[in-house]
Structure 1
Amino acid sequence: MDFRTDYLDIYSKNNEFKDLISSYIEPFDSEKIVFVCVGSMRAFGDSVAPRIGSRLVELGVKNIYGTEDNPVHAKNLHEIIDYINENHIDSFIVAIDACLARHKSNVGKVIVTNSPLKAGEGVGKILPEIGDVTVACMVDLLENYIGNCIERYNAFQRIDKYLVHKFVNYVSSGIYNSINSRELCIA
């Protein structure tokens, strides 16, 4: 598969994201698709993916790792990867995370790419890569996170709450509709 990256504005129609994510996961059996939503509930901006994971569980999507109650984060990512490798053999992993944009025009966009997620990269953490496809929600501008740990943490707390909720609804409904339309076609 050739390297591919797509950008969508979260203010575009929901069916655009559904169609986009469908184009990435279409060749794979729904039962083999695993969603790993990486983030922490300790900082609002970093909670996008666990919130998406919780919403997907509420909608009945299967194979979700990383929710508000049970987040996947830096301290347990290795363990989750090992668990998935043991329990979801030949799976296709979609990794979801918040990320920081290098350009202001990209804040509020979703990036989808057929490469692994490099969680923590924006804040200088070195963690294992995960995923066949990455869905990255650009929650803020990288330049707002220059400084010490406390300054970066405070910046992540100030992220626009409406933007976070918009990401949660946009991504979770797009994934749900993509999976649901596939199952309707099979039935």
Structure 2
Amino acid sequence: MNFMPNFFEKKGGSSRIIHDEIAAPEKLAIELKLKMASLTVNRPIVFVCIGTDRSTGDSLGPLVGTLLEEQKIAPFFVYGTLENPIHAVNLKEQLTDIFEKHSNPFIIGIDACLGRLKSVGVIQIADGPVKPGAGVNKDLPEVGDIHITGIVNVSGFMEFFVLQNTRLNLVLKMAKTIANGIVEASTAFHHHRHEHWSNMSWEHISKEKTP
């Protein structure tokens, strides 16, 4: 769970989406595609969904991971689900494992956070890593080249208990919006990579045939 006191002040490299607005998944997909547009074809894209199913407010990440696991989102990789969550206890170990499995991965961290009352229900996608545990004073590794966070409740007082008493209904709706956006982005990105490889192969064949 991440906590940013000045959350959603408009800054370069970040944008906000209200989870239940019209076309929210499509807007998230567009933002993701823009941030991944310059990636090389051989760089794996890894989603690290952080949180625990033992706290409703902190279950956003593993809910997203579980929803993604049920979809076909190749060429993306997903870590952190309700069955196998990534949380404070195992985060360092899981990150080490991810870097051993994937060469130079482009990591997208997904986490819940607390913020201002007027921003509850808002999803942010931004450059740079997410800082898990910041809201409950835990010193954990930063995660991600970019990150997606969702404000699930209000910050400022007894954050741990606020997370415990967050409505699951809101968290699930936000998780579905994020997951649907990622699925849409994966379809477009897979098509883009396929075209790129096809063009490279055709160029290679053309050069070979040139006398």
| 138, 144, 169: which one aligns with 1:131 | 144
Match of residue 17 from structure 2: 8
Structure of higher CA gyration radius: 2
Q: Return the match for 1:108 from 92, 105, 121.
A: 121
Q: 1:162: which partner in 2?
A: 169
State the one-letter code of the partner of 1:122: G
Describe the superposition over 1:14-44 as per-residue Cα deviations: whole angstroms up to 9, x where unpaired. 2111111211122224861000000011101
Q: Is the 8 A contact 1:110 1:135 kept in 2?
A: yes
Aligned runs of 1:25-36 on 2, under 5 Å?
25-28=36-39, 29=41, 32-36=44-48
Q: In the alignment, is the contact (CA less than 8 A) between 1:3 and 1:115 conserved in 2? A: no
Partner Cα distance (1:30, 1:157) in 2:
41
Between the aligned partners of 1:96 and 1:81, the Cα distance in structure 2 is 14
Deviation at 1:45, TM superposition (A): 0.8
Aligned to 1:43: 55
State whether structure 2 residue 29 is matched by structure 1 residue 18: yes
Matches within 5 A, 1:35-184: 35-61=47-73, 62-101=76-115, 103-143=116-156, 146-147=157-158, 152-184=159-191
**Where does the alignment leave 5 or more consecutive residues of structure 2 unmatched?**
1-10, 196-211
Preserved contact between residue 114 and residue 155 of structure 2 (Cα < 8 Å): yes
Distance 2:155 2:88 in 1: 19
CA distance in 2, matches of 1:3, 1:121: 22
Aligned partner letter, 2:52: S
Contact 1:107–1:139, Cα closer than 8 Å, also in 2: yes
Once the 2 structures are TM-superposed, how far is the Cα of residue 153 of structure 1 from its aligned partner? 4.0
Distance in structure 2 (CA, Å) of the matches to 1:174 and 1:96: 13
Aligned letter for 1:176? V
Unpaired runs of 5+ residues, structure 1, are: none
3-state SS, counterpart of residue 166 of structure 2? coil
Aligned counterparts of 1:31 and 1:180: Cα–Cα separation in 2? 17
Contact 2:132 2:142 in 1 (8 A): yes
* C-alpha distance in 1 between matches for 2:37 and 2:176: 21
Instruction: Look up the equivalent residue of 2:95 and give its one-letter code.
Output: I
Structure 2 residue identity aligned to 1:82: T
Question: Normalising by the residue count of structure 1, what TM-score does the alignment of the two structures yield?
Answer: 0.89
The structure 1 segments of at least 4 consecutive aligned residues displaced by more than 6 Å after TM superposition are none
SS in 1 for 2:70: helix
Task: Provide the alpha-carbon RMSD of the alignment.
Answer: 1.8
Local SS of the residue matching 1:63: strand
Number of residue-to-residue matches in the alignment: 179
The normalised TM-score by structure 2 is 0.79
Contact 2:128–2:144 (Cα < 8 Å) also in 1: yes
Deviations 1:131-170 (A, max 9, x none): 1011011101112xx24xxxx4442232122211111110
* Structure 1 residues 179 and 30: CA distance shift in structure 2, 3 A: farther
